Amino acid sequence: MESLSLEKLCLSSIINNFSIFNFAYSTSEDVSLLRNLEFLQKLYSTYLIENLCETKKLKSEYVKFLVNKYLKEFNFKKFLSLTCWEELIERVVEIAKGLLKVTFAGRMFEKHPKKVQEIIELLGNVEHLCLYIPFEYDRIMEYITRCCPNLKELDLQDNDYISDKALRTLCRVEFPSLRGLRVLRLDNVKIREETIIFMLKNMPYLEVFNTPYLIRALYYFHKKDLAENKLHTVQKYSLTELAVHYAGPKQKEYLTIFTVLCPEIKKLHCTVDNKVSIDLCSKFLKLEELEMISIHNRNNSFKTLLRSSGVSPYQLNPMKLNTFLKIRGKNLTSLFIHGLAISTSLLIQSCQKLEKLNLSEIDFHYEKNACVPSLKYLKSLRISTDTDSSYIISSTAADSLSLILNSSPNIE
C-alpha cells in the first residue's frame, strides 16, 4: 500500500471538503484566510481540478476558485460534466495570456466557435495546444499560426480530417515562428505525401511527426530525389521518433534509407523478420528507446501446431538480439522486445541505463553463476507470454527472470 505524505493527506481532506473552502473563498473577508486560499490556488489548482474531476466532485460553483491566474495549463475536457460553460469560457479568456498548455473540447466549436477564436488569439505564450477541429472550421489553423508564436507541440490526433491547405498554413513564410514547432500529432488525419515532405522541409526543428503516412512519404521522396537530383546532397531531417512497421520485401531498403535521412532518431519502433533488419537498427546511433517486434516464425498454422505440443513458437530458432545490445545497449533507457532471443547476463551488462524493460515471448539464454552489475535505474519490468499458448515456462526462463529481479534493486 502506498504511504501517504502529510501533503497528500491534507490535499485529500481539502478535496473531500472542498465545498467548505469554496464557500469561504466566496464569502469571507478575513485577509489571513484569503491569503491562505490564494496560496492553495497558486500551488494546487491543477491538482485540485484533476482530482475533483476524477472523483466526480467537480461542480459549477467551483469554477471561480479553480480557474484562476495561477494556472499554467487548462483542459476543457475536465469540465464537460458542468453546465456553466459561458462562465467557464469567460474565466479562461481572462487568464489565457498566462497559459502554457491548453486542451480544447470538441463541443466548443459547435456551440462557441467565436470564443474559441478569441481564446486562441490570446494564447501568445502557449507551448502545447491540443484541439479537435470540425471540418468547417479548419481555417482556425491560420489563427494558430498567427497568434501562437511560442508553440512547441500541436496535438491534432483527435481529428480525422484537416485539409492539406490548412496544414500547409503552419509553414507560411510570413509567420516564421511555427517553424520552431517540435511535436506535431496527426495520427488519424489523412495527408498527402507531398504535404508531409513540405512540412518537414519547412519545419526544420520538428522532432516528432505522428502520422501513419510518414514512412512512405520519406521513402518515395528520397527515391524521387535520387532519380531527379542524383543526391549530390542528402536531405536530412531532425526527427527523433520513428515507427517502421513491416513493409515486406522493402523493409531492409526502408531501414537503410532511414538511417541516413533521420540520424537523430532516439525512439524507434520496428518490426523485423530477419537478422539484417536487426543489424540495420543498430545504425541509429542515438537510440534511447527501442520497441522491436519479431515476426519470424509467423505462420499461424505452424504456431498452432507448436502450441498444441506445449512449445512456444518463439523458442524455435528465434533471432538473437545480443549483437545489437552490445553495440547500442549502453544508451537504452527503455526496451520492449517480442519474439527474440537474448542472453540475460549480456542484457544486464550492456543496458545499464535501462529504466523500463518489457519482455514478451522471449527465448532466454541463461549463464549459470554469471556475475552481473545492478540495473540501478530500472523502475518498471514487465514479462509476458502468448495468452493463447499452453506451454510451461522453462527453468532457464525462470532463472533468467530471477537474475533480472535480483539485479534490479529499485523496481517499483
Residue 285 pLDDT more than 90? Answer: yes
- Give me the sheet containing 380-384, strands edge to edge: 241-244, 267-272, 289-294, 334-338, 356-360, 380-384
pLDDT of residue 297: 57
* CA atoms of 260 and 85, how far apart (whole Å): 50
SS3 (DSSP) at 398: helix
pLDDT band at 397; cut points 50, 70, 90: confident
Average pLDDT, the chain: 88
Residue 289 in this model has a pLDDT that exceeds 70: yes
Query: Alpha-carbon distance 24 to 79, whole Å?
Result: 22
Q: Say if residues 78 and 51 touch (Cβ distance below 8 Å).
A: no
Asked if residue 175 has pLDDT above 70, the reply is no
- 72-209 maps to which CATH number? 3.80.10.10
* Tens digits of residue pLDDT in 245-277: 988 889 999 999 999 999 999 999 999 999 999
227 has pLDDT over 90: no
Output phi, psi for 363, to 5 deg: -95, 100
Pairing between strand 208-210 and 241-244? unpaired
Calculate what percentage of the chain has a pLDDT beyond 70: 90
Between CA 364 and CA 21 the distance in angstroms is 57
Burial label, 106 (beta-carbon count in 10 A; 0-12, 13-18, 19+): middle
Task: Evaluate if residue 312 carries a pLDDT over 60.
Answer: no
Q: Strand 319-320 vs strand 334-338: parallel, antiparallel, or unpaired?
A: unpaired
| Average confidence (pLDDT) over 293-309 | 57
- The pTM assigned to this predicted structure is 0.86
131 contact partners, CB below 8 Å, separation of at least 6: 102, 103, 104, 116, 140, 155, 156, 158
401 versus 390: the higher-pLDDT residue is 401
* All residues at 6 or more sequence positions from 379 whose CB lies less than 8 Å from its CB, including other chains: 355, 356, 410, 411, 412
For the segment 366-394, the average pLDDT, to the nearest whole number, is 78
d(CA 258, CA 239): 10
User: What is the Cα–Cα distance from 188 to 206, expressed in whole angstroms?
Assistant: 19
Domain ranges of the chain: 8-68, 72-209, 212-287, 295-411
CA separation for the pair 202, 174 (Å, rounded): 12
Q: Cβ distance 170 to 144 under 8 Å?
A: yes
Determine contact, residues 184/209, Cβ cutoff 8 Å: yes
Contact 26, 37 (CB under 8 A): no
